[in-house]
Chain A
């Protein structure tokens, strides 16, 4: 079972509907700072798309580096246990995709694949972001 995204930055139009969808899914309202996917503008080149790559992430260093074993791979879904996280930021530095950041409560936050049906993918009209399947 492979968990991941097919990402084609060349197709991304930088509309940020994925960020909106993420925020709406997790908070119920729009606050883009809480989105777990970030579209990073680098005109004229295609944007950077910062989101957890799950099975496509080589070595998954966030799991290794976490000193309290708060991050685990559960059937492909790399998840952070917020009750265990101490906010040390080691995973933030280790993530090769800049896909983890600290939230308002100073705990590590990342994409959880919405449990299997990522809201961001449904909102992407240009098919820059597709689901690989669970």
Chain B
């Protein structure tokens, strides 16, 4: 092993139940790892026009050069596939311990191809693959499936699994890994379409780096920076380390930017009853880390359910406090925890599922949809928990909602689309585009639909820049999209960049692998990936028309503190034109030939034909 990568990816043919080693070729290595590998391989091997749930789609699970090393906050692994929710290319991530275990198994990733005839579990031990019947766990929750695999393959395995939502092809089904989740975009339905219920990994091999001394010095330096941030009272990462990501709710709510009641309002009057501090105050709380992470933002809470049984949950996270909390007018921390648990059992993205539920509740209150046995009222426990189960089961109204918020509105008709808070059928994250104009552009232009991971949220919410202005936002959005894409080749936690200078990424990369890149070259890899994704989406039929916001974003936010924030069509058009121009794309959002040449991806222009 030279450096921290094994240069080996397993290709698994699900139909033939066979696997072969694939040596990573040099043109893939140019994409560093993680999201870069996944994007390059998918674009090379899968037509943009395939049905995401057909055997022709592939699911690529990768790790990066820093996975499994001592570098802090690089625990995540990445999935790239074509999304059944959005129809775009998808990249999504899970924390925990799955990524390091894949690396310890001597792999840089796996590629799942074709479809198994029968439901299976896959076990991968040090690169060797075996296939097993999933019959005993069919219909079971993600947690039960995980437990079954630990019993069957050994208690030390690290797993990923789907629940009933993935089995039922729910468009926002996600893949769970020991309470962490590949949340966005419906990767759980893709795994389900391949008839894979779960995968367990076990690795006993090591991870070495090219320059041990240099790497140790960088790790020590970076650890000092993160520990210092954790000790600071008003540092966001420090707040996360104390009460979890839910620490942020109060700040957002205070600025009138916490989406409430399907994004009608920007303030939730019971926000402080469901935030991170409330959970820490009301319930037993224990901080749990991902592999090697000094921030430990994943909070385990023990609580008593409404039926008086003892239970526990790792979460809810900040975004879920919006999607199953404020957006549904749910101010009860127990109901929120139980709603989170239902999403975990079924294996569903709490964001898009919550956003779709909020839309359904509003439509029901307007008399447009109904469901026997459920009142369908905002804030009503039974309505919320009932709808979530129905989505997971694709039962009754749940069958409509399981298509995602945009498709459900399109099927329903009657001008219900304008209040479906999604982009490309992916539900909004907790932030309000009308309140934060840079975020609005980031949501609209994201290659995976309504993505908050590549938005200038920090700068806007902390007041470094005026969140209401459109000035300078296109350049900011482009910069952060390219930078985060580059960081996701190493699969750094998104919070890592909050406190760490970009020099660290190139420093770590060189010390781990010997690959020397300037910061500019590193970010250029991110831009190349961004354009490759864009070409795939254009090839799939997307256009400028899809880089847009739902109608509600062009109406003022109601309520106090939000100052009636609104986006005008003119403002949005100005930002989008400037953004396309900065990207070297034409007015329709299509990359110009010279831009593709500059990025070294001219040959992918054929995707546009």
Contact = CB atoms under 8 A, between A and B. Distances in A.
Interface of A: 10, 13-17, 20-21, 23-24, 27-33, 43-44, 46, 125-126
Given A14-B288, A31-B205, A125-B227, A43 B293 contact: no
Contact of B312 (A10, A20, A27, A44): A44
A13 B296 contact: yes
A14 B292 CA distance: 9
Contacts of B296: 13, 15, 126
Interface of B: 68-70, 97, 104, 204-209, 212, 216, 223, 227, 230, 286-294, 296, 300, 302, 312, 314
Contact of A29 (B208, B292, B294): B208
B289 A13 contact: yes
Given A10-B286, A29-B206, A31-B206, A20 B104 contact: no
B206 A20 contact: no
B161 to A, nearest CB: 16
Contacts of A44: 286, 300, 302, 312
Contact of A17 (B68, B209, B286, B294): B294
Nearest to A45: B286
Contact of B207 (A17, A29, A46, A125): A29
A125 B314 CA distance: 21
Contacts of A28: 208, 212
Given A43-B312, A44-B300, A126-B296, A27 B70 contact: no
B294 A125 contact: yes
Nearest to A30: B207
Contact of B288 (A13, A20, A32): A13
A30 B294 contact: no
B156 to A, nearest CB: 9
A24 B302 CA distance: 35
Contacts of A31: 104, 204-207
Given A17-B294, A20-B70, 11 more contacts: A14-B288, A15-B296, A17-B70, A24-B216, A29-B208, A29-B212, A30-B68, A31-B104, A31-B204, A43-B314, A44-B312
Contacts of B227: 125
B239 to A, nearest CB: 16
Nearest to B68: A30
B205 to A, nearest CB: 7
